[in-house]
Chain A
């Protein structure tokens, strides 16, 4: 079955550490996205990529970095510069014609 896989489902990070969230899709979608969900804030766009080796900042990119070396993969690194990293992170992909397909999310907690 085709879909988007996010791993791990739960992640704990110590303050000052970088951490990378994985997102893999086998839907052959060109575009991929990273969102962050906080209570009362809805879904806020962090980074997106419409093609391999190219990506753009979203609305809240500060403290995050991404790469898109393969069509199937769009990992998100939460750096120590991100002041409030505890959140639920969602990865999505799109073939452009329709809406997004979302992964099941990663809950990141800073301890």
Chain B
């Protein structure tokens, strides 16, 4: 049973426009959520995170929104750049010492 779901396998956007990457979760015990970015043949790198006590966290071009009632979070990238083309993983955990549960990832392509 997949507890973190990224239902869209891919997304293509024009350079300069907004990219919205969605993630849903089923376990209401998750209290911390993260987004990772991964290029081919490299390890994922941390992008941005949000605690369940917040509904928004912003870092430069990247903003993560959390809707706890809907068990849904989204990553907004504005403006999108060709270098943002990568696989993005959503992850969640239940407590500070628990392991992360990852979604299957979404491949973002930003067209010049």
Q: Answer yes or no: A107 CB below 8 A from chain B CBs.
A: yes
* A48 CB contacts on chain B under 8 angstroms: 99
Q: Looking at the complex, which one of B41, B89, B91 makes contact with A88 (CB distance below 8 Å)? A: B41
Given contacts A33-B99, A42-B103, A48-B99, A99 and B43 within 8 Å (CB-CB): no
A74 interface residue per 8 A CB criterion:
no
Closest Cβ of chain B: how far from A38's Cβ, in Å? 10
Size band of the interface chain A makes with B: 20 to 34
Contact residues of A: prevailing secondary structure: strand
Q: What chain B residues lie within 8 Å of A40 (beta carbons)? A: 9, 104
**What's the A-B contact tally at a CB cutoff of 8 Å?**
52
A42 and B102 contact, CB distance less than 8 A: yes
The verdict on A14 contacting chain B, using a C-beta distance below 8 Å, is no
B59 near A: Cβ within 8 Å?
Answer: no
Residue of A nearest to B40 (CB): A88
Residues B89 and A42 in contact, CB atoms below 8 Å apart: yes
Q: A102 in the interface, Cβ–Cβ < 8 Å?
A: yes
Extra A-B contacts (17), CB below 8 Å, given A99-B100, A100-B46, A100-B100: A6-B43, A40-B9, A42-B103, A43-B44, A43-B89, A88-B41, A90-B43, A90-B44, A92-B43, A96-B96, A96-B97, A98-B46, A99-B91, A101-B46, A102-B43, A102-B45, A105-B42
